[in-house]
Amino acid sequence: MLTMYSTSWCGYCHRLKSQLDRERIPYEVVDIEQDTEAAAYVMGVNGGNQTVPTVRFPDGSALTNPSIVQVRQRLSDLAAS
């Protein structure tokens, strides 16, 4: 399952959530303003920045502010390997 790191006020996060819902891609949302470990993870994969949405895939890889096309492609690549 995907993990999407987000904030309550992030418009890009709301858009990606809607797209994931429409595509019926399961995901878990973690609010980095409520979870300091999640915020540290996001900063770790984004050069010290708390950039959201950051999506972590089942293999541990991450994409920052991905499009739904990028998410689908990454999931397809993981399924093929």
Phi, psi of 59 (to 5 degrees): -85, 0
pLDDT tens column, 14-52: 999 999 999 999 999 999 999 999 999 999 999 999 999
Domains of the chain: 2-80 (3.40.30.10)
Distance of CA 13 to the CA centre of its chain: 8
Q: Per-residue DSSP letters for 32-76?
A: TTT-HHHHHHHHHHTTT---S-EEE-TTS-EEES--HHHHHHHHH
Q: What DSSP state is assigned to residue 7?
A: -
In this prediction, residue 81 carries a pLDDT of 86
pLDDT tens per residue, range 55-70: 999 999 999 999 999 9
Model pLDDT, residue 54: 98
Q: Indicate the pairing of strand 27-31 with strand 2-6.
A: parallel
Q: What percent of the chain has pLDDT over 90?
A: 99
